[in-house]
Chain A
């Protein structure tokens, strides 16, 4: 089953005519993803790649093409508005790729989304991939900016704040002959739509997912919260890695959310929480997949 998206998911791209959005819409199409519509205000009526209709509003796109999931590639000043437009149109899932959205905008968006049926993933995230059955995992659902070919259809769920660390983990799994059920990048911002814990719960309930890799980084306490839940409730083996053990306190390490402040959000506190929860911690980012495989074998005894 995978989580969140399947190869049948009908996807809308908000910002499909921008250079970033169009490039990745193209790559998703090549991967086999059902991109069924695009939205760029003022360009309604045009076609993307000669076949995909472009609309002025998300509401029109949802009505005309039956899309349920949107990916947002619009520039930061307009991203909050785009998220709220997708929520207003009643989409199930909105994945915001845009990096650099003001935190205050996300604070308001998150509050405004309370009680709506829409789930937000991101912002500042690589997106989601549910690998397909074809060569290089084609035929799957790729939403966002991850390289499709590194994936392999299988039973490991991957959740991470960082894009490139997700690719690193996925590539390690694929190279060792293991596939992925779904890979979710939740994004590197301090205020985001979906947490590690939200995704872990979905993986725990997903019959296709047999084990999980959870990748975190310095800043906040979301990893600790997920670990506490895993300790009490998770039925599946989990391996993890935390980036930023060598990062200096008080400096924002690329991601807006990756900052140790007021003594909170340190790598050591997160690693301790992982260990306490029975999560196998990878000593280095080079052994995330190996650590999971060893952990699965140990649990089997």
Chain B
């Protein structure tokens, strides 16, 4: 789960991570008032969407840039009017862009130096690691590739947590002295506390800035939370913005289905995450393009399977469907009944190939055969993938 920048700034305030003052606004008038209240000489207005590259993005109404610096509250109001209710396209949103419902109005920092700071889980050591770099404002992967010596890593002890000396080490590695080093160490420890307390999987501050007046501030933040831990953080769940998510994925999550929309035209419905990924791969291997990842899980009900089918068909790009079930414990007859229930309600507009294997496989195949529907049956995963790719190509021809 991700959150907006203004929500991240609220978390920073709660945990004592120093950052510029700001206010969220959802109308031009609110934005103007926010700017007045901040009362600083320069004010920045930022479109709030869950995607990077906002500054270089453009709105579909022709207005350029999702981030602007102004000096008067009236200007902020005008900017807000051009952003709110408009669609912002950045290199991360895809061509469809994202609707801007909120803007963040924040005091401008006079930047002397840009640094980088992040905390994430290091899988190899099974512990959180703090990463800092002198190359702020840049893509950290580029820094890692070109100047790895400018990246510093400090692994936290999994039980003791990050120690103050480690924060001081990082501040020193960043070339900071005196009050700035102390401020940076304090900020790093506060950020670590936030990371642990909120069950984050990633917190990235890029840039962490030194201002011309010598303050150390977190200027922007990217958060990822561990989905498995959300049950114990209702306050984080409350920050979820469904308008930022693919509506098909939101619908799927209501039925406890794991769905991820992709760009291709062959949909798949599979049990098990590994097999679902492998099914996407084999569709591609035989010359098709997968339209989605969909794992119905190991104990799906007839209703879940029917819901999964409907979600697949919401995608207008879908020109064919491959059902691949290795029913170890999951019974094939339940899958078959779920498919039929979904087809009865929605009719089948595209070719459907079904590969069933595992428990009650004969019964499952019989249910589908007796239904009289034009379902193409397959004997193996490869057979299924070949058949659906061929069926989609034949239709297109």
Contact present for A221 and B326 (CB under 8 Å): no
Contact present for B275 and A162 (CB under 8 Å): yes
Interchain CA distance A230-B277 in the complex, whole Å: 25
Q: How far is the CB of A13 from chain B (nearest CB, A)?
A: 16
Check if A231 is an interface residue, CB within 8 A of chain B.
no
Interface centre among B196, B270, B381 (most CB of A within 10 A): B381
Check if B300 is an interface residue, CB within 8 A of chain A.
no
Q: Encode contact with A along B213-252: 1 for CB under 8 Å, 0 otherwise.
A: 0000000000000111101100000000000000000000
Contact present for A160 and B274 (CB under 8 Å): yes
Given that A110-B158, A246-B280 are contacting pairs, would A171 and B229 also be in contact in the complex, using a CB cutoff of 8 Å? no
Residue of B nearest to A24 (CB): B329
Interchain CA distance A105-B80 in the complex, whole Å: 43
Contact present for B159 and A284 (CB under 8 Å): no
B residues contacting the other copy or chain, number (CB 8 A):
56
Which parts of A192-236 form the interface with B (CB within 8 Å)? 215, 217-222
B202: chain A residues within 8 A (beta carbon): 261
Which of B124, B358, B382 touches A150 (beta carbons < 8 Å)? Answer: B358
Check if B260 is an interface residue, CB within 8 A of chain A.
yes
Contact present for A104 and B358 (CB under 8 Å): no
Residue of B nearest to A252 (CB): B227
A110: chain B residues within 8 A (beta carbon): 126, 158
Residues of chain A having any CB pair with chain B under 8 Å: 24, 27, 76-77, 100-108, 110-112, 145-147, 149-150, 160-168, 171, 188, 190-191, 215, 217-222, 241, 243-248, 251-258, 261-263, 267, 283-287
Interface centre among B123, B196, B232 (most CB of A within 10 A): B123
A-B contact pairs, 26 of them (CB 8 A): A102-B199, A103-B228, A103-B229, A147-B329, A163-B274, A163-B298, A163-B328, A164-B270, A165-B278, A168-B381, A190-B123, A191-B126, A215-B274, A243-B274, A243-B275, A245-B281, A246-B281, A246-B284, A246-B290, A248-B260, A253-B276, A257-B123, A284-B281, A284-B382, A285-B279, A285-B381
Interchain CA distance A171-B327 in the complex, whole Å: 11
Residue of A nearest to B226 (CB): A103
Interchain CA distance A243-B231 in the complex, whole Å: 29
Which of A150, A160, A253, A286 touches B328 (beta carbons < 8 Å)? Answer: A150
Q: Encode contact with A along B277-296: 1 for CB under 8 Å, 0 otherwise.
A: 11111111100001001010
Given that A101-B228, A103-B201 are contacting pairs, would A285 and B275 also be in contact in the complex, using a CB cutoff of 8 Å? yes
Q: How far is the CB of B284 from chain A (nearest CB, A)?
A: 5
Given that A107-B126, A245-B281 are contacting pairs, would A255 and B274 also be in contact in the complex, using a CB cutoff of 8 Å? yes
Q: How far is the CB of A128 from chain B (nearest CB, A)?
A: 14
Q: How far is the CB of B136 from chain A (nearest CB, A)?
A: 17
Contact present for B273 and A253 (CB under 8 Å): yes
Given that A253-B276, A254-B258, A256-B227 are contacting pairs, would A286 and B293 also be in contact in the complex, using a CB cutoff of 8 Å? no
Interchain CA distance A24-B127 in the complex, whole Å: 32
The 10 A-B pairs of least Cβ separation, nearest first, read A162-B274, A254-B273, A164-B272, A147-B328, A286-B382, A102-B229, A164-B275, A111-B158, A285-B278, A165-B274
Contact present for A162 and B272 (CB under 8 Å): yes
Contact present for A285 and B281 (CB under 8 Å): yes
Given that A188-B273, A215-B274 are contacting pairs, would A284 and B158 also be in contact in the complex, using a CB cutoff of 8 Å? no
A160: chain B residues within 8 A (beta carbon): 274
Which of B127, B293, B329 touches A111 (beta carbons < 8 Å)? Answer: B127
Residue of B nearest to A77 (CB): B231
Contact present for A100 and B382 (CB under 8 Å): no
Check if B28 is an interface residue, CB within 8 A of chain A.
no
Check if B33 is an interface residue, CB within 8 A of chain A.
no
Residue of B nearest to A168 (CB): B326
B127: chain A residues within 8 A (beta carbon): 107, 111
Contact present for B290 and A190 (CB under 8 Å): no
Contact present for B273 and A167 (CB under 8 Å): no
Which of A167, A258, A261 touches B277 (beta carbons < 8 Å)? Answer: A258
